Chain A
Amino acid sequence: MDTKSKTKEVLSSLLKVKIDELKDDVSLINSIGVDSTEMVESVIALEKSFGVKLSPKEITKNSTINDIAENIQSKLAK
Chain B
Amino acid sequence: MGKIAITGIGVVSPSGIGKRQFWANIKSGRSFIKKITRFDASLYPSHIAGQIDDLEKYSHISERLLKKIDAFSHMALVASELALQDAGIDIKNEDPSLMGIFLGNAIGGWLYAETELRDLYLEGREGVSPYMASAWFPAAPQGQVSIYYGIKGFSKTVVSDRASSLMALGYAKKVLEKDKLNMILSGGMEAPVTPYALLCCNTYGSLSENNQNPNEAYRPFDKERSGFVIGEGAGIVVMESVDRAKKRGASILGLISGYGYSCDGVDRINCSGDGKELARAISMALSDAEANIEEIGYISLDGLAVGLWDDSEIKALEIVFGEYLKNIPVSCPKSMFGNLLGASGALDMIIALLNMEHGLVAPTLNLETPVLKGLNYVAKQAKEYKITKSLIISRGRGGINSVLVIEKHPAL
Q: Which residues of A contact B (CB under 8 A)?
A: 15-17, 37, 40-41, 44
Give bound CA distance, A15 to B67, whole Å. Answer: 9
Q: Which 10 A-B pairs have the closest CB atoms?
A: A16-B64, A16-B63, A37-B130, A40-B130, A41-B130, A44-B126, A15-B64, A37-B131, A16-B67, A17-B64
Q: Is the CB–CB distance between A37 and B134 below 8 Å?
A: yes
- Residues in B with CB closer than 8 Å to A16 are 62-64, 66-67
- B129 at interface by CB-CB < 8 Å: yes
Shortest Cβ gap from A56 to chain B (Å): 11
- Residues in B with CB closer than 8 Å to A40 are 130
Closest to A15 in B: B64
- Residues in B with CB closer than 8 Å to A15 are 64
Kindly state the interface size class of chain B when it binds its partner. Answer: 10 to 19
Give bound CA distance, A24 to B129, whole Å. Answer: 27
Per DSSP, are chain B's interface residues mostly helix, strand or loop, or mixed? loop
- Residues in A with CB closer than 8 Å to B130 are 37, 40-41
Closest to B67 in A: A16
Shortest Cβ gap from A52 to chain B (Å): 15
Give bound CA distance, A66 to B211, whole Å. Answer: 58
- Residues in A with CB closer than 8 Å to B134 are 37
Interface residues of B in 127-146 (CB under 8 A from A): 129-131, 134
Shortest Cβ gap from B220 to chain A (Å): 43
- Residues in A with CB closer than 8 Å to B67 are 16
Closest to A47 in B: B126
Which residue of B62, B66, B129 is within 8 Å of A41 (Cβ)? B129
Q: List 15 A-B contacts (CB under 8 A).
A: A15-B64, A16-B62, A16-B63, A16-B64, A16-B66, A16-B67, A17-B64, A37-B68, A37-B130, A37-B131, A37-B134, A40-B130, A41-B129, A41-B130, A44-B126
- Residues in B with CB closer than 8 Å to A17 are 64
Give bound CA distance, A44 to B130, whole Å. Answer: 10
Interface residues of B in 62-86 (CB under 8 A from A): 62-64, 66-68
Residue-wise interface mask of B (222-262) relative to A, using a CB-CB cutoff of 8 A (1 in contact, 0 not)? 00000000000000000000000000000000000000000
- Residues in B with CB closer than 8 Å to A37 are 68, 130-131, 134
Give bound CA distance, A41 to B64, whole Å. Answer: 13
Residue-wise interface mask of B (104-145) relative to A, using a CB-CB cutoff of 8 A (1 in contact, 0 not)? 000000000000000000000010011100100000000000
Give bound CA distance, A40 to B129, whole Å. Answer: 10
Shortest Cβ gap from B122 to chain A (Å): 15
Give bound CA distance, A40 to B130, whole Å. Answer: 7
Closest to A40 in B: B130
Give bound CA distance, A41 to B134, whole Å. Answer: 14
Shortest Cβ gap from A50 to chain B (Å): 15
- Residues in A with CB closer than 8 Å to B129 are 41
Shortest Cβ gap from A18 to chain B (Å): 10
Give bound CA distance, A47 to B141, whole Å. Answer: 31
Give bound CA distance, A44 to B123, whole Å. Answer: 13
Shortest Cβ gap from B140 to chain A (Å): 13
Give bound CA distance, A44 to B124, whole Å. Answer: 13
Give bound CA distance, A23 to B64, whole Å. Answer: 18
Shortest Cβ gap from A9 to chain B (Å): 16
Apart from the given pairs A37-B68, A41-B130, 6 other A-B contacts in the complex at a CB distance below 8 Å: A16-B63, A16-B66, A17-B64, A37-B131, A37-B134, A44-B126
